[in-house]
Amino acid sequence: MVRAAVLPAVGAPLEITEIELPEPGPGQVRVRLAAAGVCHSDLSLSDGTMRVPVPAVLGHEGAGTVVSVGEGVTGLAPGDGVVLNWAPSCGKCHACSLGEVWLCADALSGSADVYARTAGGTDLHPGLNVAAFAEETVVPVSCTLPLPDGIPLTDAALLGCAVLTGYGAVHHCAQVRPGETVAVFGVGGVGLAALQAARIAGASTVVAVDVSPEKEELARAAGATEYLVARDTTAREIRALTGKQGVDVAVECVGRAVTIRTAWESTRRGGRTVVVGIGGKDQQVTFNALELFHWGRTLTGCVYGNSDPARDLPVLAAHVRAGRLDLGSLITERIALEGIPAAFENMLAGKGGRALIVF
């Protein structure tokens, strides 16, 4: 029996309770969590913006230590540190055949599995495959990545989602070049990672935008050269900061129609807007045909930072070891399992960066 945060139904409060976790079967690994990040996607799953089978144990950004392995697992042994990979690629579908592993058709198929039970015998699903909101979890070996050398196990949890997503949005989707100008909308965990990534890419001007004036210090520490509190005139203010041209790249980490539209309007003619934030179906963004032609801008979605975790994790680790990427600065709160609901409330209120559950 291990303690976990269970989502009994969509829209219901999380329940901190004991669950019965089986030993790993063939091809599976049991992991004792060191830490798990509270991501906005977890909130989207709990309120039904994104759908997963319930009841479920949420949590998809985590790192921990291997406790035991099932039959057929090679390359991992008890005591090894691992980063959880919530979106493993199958290597066989059309997207994978194109090298676009972040769009794998089967990446989330494991969320429909039954992986544990409540003390009362109710079947539980593993959220986004890995069920990191628990003291321990059992996952397919494909959902684990070796902990890179020299990376603290607790901080490494952030590599599993926030950093891969924010870094990938800048380096893979937007392909920011040295000297370009960048605006990042939303200074949460992913936004802070995107700001650091823009700095690493050599952006000349990095504008951070958020609804909260209290996040300015966080944003500037991550690499922002300018900070704006979001309002109706934000696009105009960004153009004023960039010689009335607009930024080369805007990265939207919020998932709201008004923010996406503002990010698009903030870019120069021919600029690139990358949408990372996950919005609901009610968030409709509109453009007229003439402006699309005139501005020549690019608007693109971004899934998991268009990252290949197996390829990109060693790159991120090298940045961490060299001091270019600071994982700890993304964390604004360290909590226990019981603190997840309050972390959700803080996200809704636009407070803080990443909340990290430490076990």
Q: What's the pLDDT band for 49 if we cut at 50, 70, 90?
A: confident
Q: Of 5-9, 67-71, 85-89, 280-284, where does mean pLDDT reach its minimum? A: 280-284
pLDDT of residue 329: 94
Per-residue pLDDT at 50 exceeds 90: no
pTM of the model: 0.95
Q: What's the pLDDT band for 99 if we cut at 50, 70, 90?
A: very high
**Structure-token match 């693109």, residue found:** 300
Classify residue 159 by its DSSP letter: G
Question: Using an 8 Å Cβ cutoff, are 245 and 239 in contact?
Answer: yes
pLDDT of residue 288: 95
Provide, rounded to the nearest whole percent, the portion of the chain with pLDDT above 90. 94
Per-residue pLDDT at 315 exceeds 90: yes
Question: Using an 8 Å Cβ cutoff, are 167 and 194 in contact?
Answer: yes
DSSP calls for 219-241 = HHHHT-SEEEE--TTHHHHHHHH
Per-residue pLDDT at 35 exceeds 90: yes
pLDDT of residue 177: 98
- 141-185: pLDDT as tens digits: 999 999 999 999 999 999 999 999 999 999 999 999 999 999 999
- 217-238: pLDDT as tens digits: 999 999 999 999 999 999 999 9
pLDDT of residue 52: 86
- 181-204: pLDDT as tens digits: 999 999 999 999 999 999 999 999
Per-residue pLDDT at 280 exceeds 90: no
From residue 94, alpha-carbon distances to 13, 90, 101, 194 in Å are: 38, 10, 9, 29
Describe the strand order of the beta sheet including 298-301 as a list of residue ranges: 226-229, 205-210, 181-185, 247-252, 267-275, 298-301
The whole-chain average pLDDT of the chain stands at 96
pLDDT of residue 249: 98
Cα end-to-end span (Å), the chain: 15
pLDDT of residue 350: 87
pLDDT of residue 359: 96
- Per-residue buried b or exposed e for 66-90, using 16+ beta carbons within 10 Å of the residue's own CB: bbbbbeebeebeeebbbbbbbbbbe
Q: What's the pLDDT band for 340 if we cut at 50, 70, 90?
A: very high
Residue 286: CB partners within 8 Å, gap ≥ 6?
Answer: 261
Per-residue pLDDT at 33 exceeds 90: yes
pLDDT of residue 58: 95
Q: What's the pLDDT band for 51 if we cut at 50, 70, 90?
A: confident
